[in-house]
Amino acid sequence: MIDTVPAPEGMPLTVQLKALLDQEIRYQPKLCGLKIIESAQENGLRMTVRLRDYEVKDLLSLTRFFGFSAETFSLAVNLLDRFLSVMKIQPKHLACVGLCCFYIAVKSSEEEKNVPLASDLIRISQNRFTVSDMMRMEKIIMEKLHWKVRAPTALHFLRLYHSLILLQADADSKKSLNIDRLEAQLKACHCCFAFSKIKPSLLALAILALEVQEQGLCELIEAQQTLQLQSNIKAGDLVCVRELVGKCLIEYASTKCSKPSHRKLRWVISGRTARSLKHSYYKITHLPTIPEAAS
């Protein structure tokens, strides 16, 4: 049976936050497994940080191509990192693993009518494995993750923190703290392996704290510190991750226009999805732009 995260949307925001904090530890990648990936050499025989990041960028391209939600992408990354941290896979199997994690996330987060066929996903991503291969890999992934799918991701925390801090914000501050911009920053961070080792709550609050700092929203510092206390996040950890996020976003901004995704994805498919995908080809070969901050 698939394990799902309770949906406490009808509860007060602080209660929702506590519920997510209580669950996040159960859905984190194994640190020991991530360290093995981090120490691997580029010899074509083992999973490496570079290969993982390439695969996540492909999943981001697929997410944009199909018009899927940020929730689908964040969940796919969570599933991928959790699986890679408990299973040693060969690089040649990574594309199948990544696509299966994406497919699981799509089926968990998107409306059923928008879920593409597995065969379409394979054709679009130009992979050579079969639908049977994909179904076998999906079963392995689900079993290794103990059918725990709907993880509390950094996106859940980011949206919740954003809602909570806006309760203390004036009209100008609300305009400056744009959730679309924050979510785009999170997507960029997901493409960097270093953040796989960081708790979702810490990553989300670091992104928010960086934006508060860069926008000069001094009136929200106290509200941010309250969120930090409620989340049991140490000040030193927050500062460290905030700086790491800042470096990541600078690197991302400098490469997004010059480095398209390393694998072109086709839009030659048939059936009900063809019409909706026909006009999306250009987007799939480019990483998303982070919206400008409000002036």
User: Residue 190's domain spans which residues?
Assistant: 154-255
Alpha-carbon distance of 34 to 167, in angstroms, equals 37
Alpha-carbon distance of 172 to 115, in angstroms, equals 39
Percent of the chain with pLDDT over 70: 83
Work out the pLDDT band at 256, boundaries 50, 70, 90.
low
Report the CATH number at residue 186: 1.10.472
CA-nearest of 249, 198, 259 to 58 is 259
List, for residues 173-223, the tens digit of each pLDDT value. Answer: 888 899 999 999 999 999 999 999 999 999 999 999 999 999 999 999 999
Whether residue 261 is predicted with pLDDT greater than 50 in this model: the reply is: no
CA-nearest of 120, 131, 128 to 266 is 120
Whether the CB-CB separation of 237 and 202 falls below 8 Å is answered with yes
List, for residues 36-49, the tens digit of each pLDDT value. Answer: 999 988 877 789 99
Q: Which of 60-74, 250-264, 277-291 has the highest mean pLDDT?
A: 60-74
| In a domain? residue 92 | no
pLDDT at 172: 84
- Average pLDDT for residues 22-42, to the nearest whole number? 92
Alpha-carbon distance of 16 to 6, in angstroms, equals 10
pLDDT at 75: 97
Whether residue 111 is predicted with pLDDT greater than 60 in this model: the reply is: yes
Overall domain count for the chain: 1
| Average pLDDT of the chain, as a whole number | 86
| In a domain? residue 163 | yes
List, for residues 122-161, the tens digit of each pLDDT value. Answer: 999 888 899 999 999 999 999 999 999 989 999 999 999 9
| In a domain? residue 247 | yes
